[in-house]
Structure 1
Amino acid sequence: MDNYRVELDQETGLYCTLHLFTNVTNISEIREKVIGGELRCCVVKASLIIDAFQAIVAANKVALNAKQNRLITKNIYTEVLFYLSTTKKISRALTEFGINDNDKNILIILIHELGEEQSLLEEVLGSIKGERVPISRIQEYTDMNLIKKIYKIDEDELRVSSLVNAIVSRISCKDFML
């Protein structure tokens, strides 16, 4: 299993770890646990993630905002969903990128201090009934057309930029758009 952990901006002292699950059979239970604060993680529709970098950029923005007490949603995990989205409406961002009962493939995003990862991981892994697959396979579960629609990316833009770069640019610039 490729464990995908990245150190976020050094100023934050935080790390981001990603885990990809497929064929998940208990989505509604996972969603209830996340909403109830029992699971300290962000759970994203895998279909809306084209590359791990997309999730890392959003997590890094969230970590920096948390350090500066500037969270819009007041929770780092909902904040990741908010930053992945292009909308200014929190509820729409959570609906768009958060999981629903039809989802089977999910990306788990952990934001943690060094040494905190294992306890968070045990908490999360024990709650997910599905197959854990390498993050390097994320594009197998990506819905390219849906991503282009959500991020409003057309073919003209893709002639001069990759899809990942177009998405990351939008995530990076979200603060300026708000």
Structure 2
Amino acid sequence: MAKTVCSRFHADYSVCVALISDVHDARELRKSVMSGKFEATLLNPEMILDEFQILVAANQAINLHVLNKMVTKSLHSEILYRLSPSKNISDSFKKFGTGENDKAVCVVIVNDKNKSTLDLILNISQGKLTDLEKLANLTDMDKVKKIYKLTDEELSQSPMLDAIVSRIASKDIVTI
């Protein structure tokens, strides 16, 4: 079975991150999330360098959910919003969310104790669970650099993941 990452941030919250490849119907997946058929964050893997990037955003979203201070309407949309350096919600969804024709999807699910949501997503997408180590192979480095406004000088001083995570962590403090 493919590797997924599951983390626990608060006693009542767990986060599962999975990569699905060979997706046949990303459009139906998006529609299912938007209609409330299941709760999940569907990410464009081209924008994700490492699962740690997702876990940082998920931790922020969960903390804001617990404090009742989210910017978006749901915990899963807050995760997507937290990944983006932009404070524009629709821009965050466009850049980091799954497109209708994507062939791979990075899925984030909060509190899926029996993995029924992940099974439902796999069934709808007709895709296959893939090792998260393959995530970096799908990353579009040029897009990531552009969206996070990463400079060559900055990247000569620290790894790209560190720069991205710093931007995610400081989103509410600093505007890029």
TM class by shorter chain equals over 0.9
Aligned with 2:136 (options 132, 135, 139): 139
2:169 matched to which residue of 1?
172
Distance 2:33 2:131 in 1: 23
TM-score normalised over the length of structure 2: 0.93
Deviations 1:132-157 (A, max 9, x none): 21011111111111100010001100
**Residue of structure 2 in register with 1:5 after alignment:** 6
Normalization by structure 1: what TM-score? 0.92
Question: How many Å separate the matches in 2 of 1:94 and 1:40?
Answer: 15
CA distance in 2, matches of 1:104, 1:121: 17
The one-letter code matched in structure 2 to 1:45 is N
Partner of 2:48: 49
Amino acid aligned to 1:138: L
Structure 2 CA distance for aligned equivalents of residues 120 and 100 of structure 1: 20
1:121 maps to: 118
- 2:55 pairs with 1:63: no
**Displaced runs of 4 or more, over 3 A:** none
Asked if the contact 2:58/2:79 (under 8 Å) is kept, the reply is yes
1:117 deviation in Å?
Answer: 4.2
Distance in 2 (alpha carbons) for counterparts of 1:103 and 1:149: 20
Query: What is the percent sequence identity of the aligned residues?
Result: 30
2:80 partner amino acid:
L
Q: What amino acid sits opposite 2:54 in the alignment? A: A
Map 1:15-94 → 2, pairs under 5 A: 15-94=14-93
In 1, Cα distance between the equivalents of 2:34 and 2:153? 39
Deviations 1:36-63 (A, max 9, x none): 1112100000010000000000000000
| In the alignment, structure 1 residue 14 sits paired with structure 2 residue 4 | no
RMSD of aligned C-alpha atoms? 1.4
Question: Structure 2: which 5+ residue stretches go unaligned?
Answer: none
Measured in 2, the distance between the counterparts of 1:134 and 1:16 equals: 16
SS in structure 2 at match of 1:24: coil
Structure 1 residue 125: deviation in Å? 2.5
Partners in 2 of 1:107 and 1:172 — Cα distance? 20
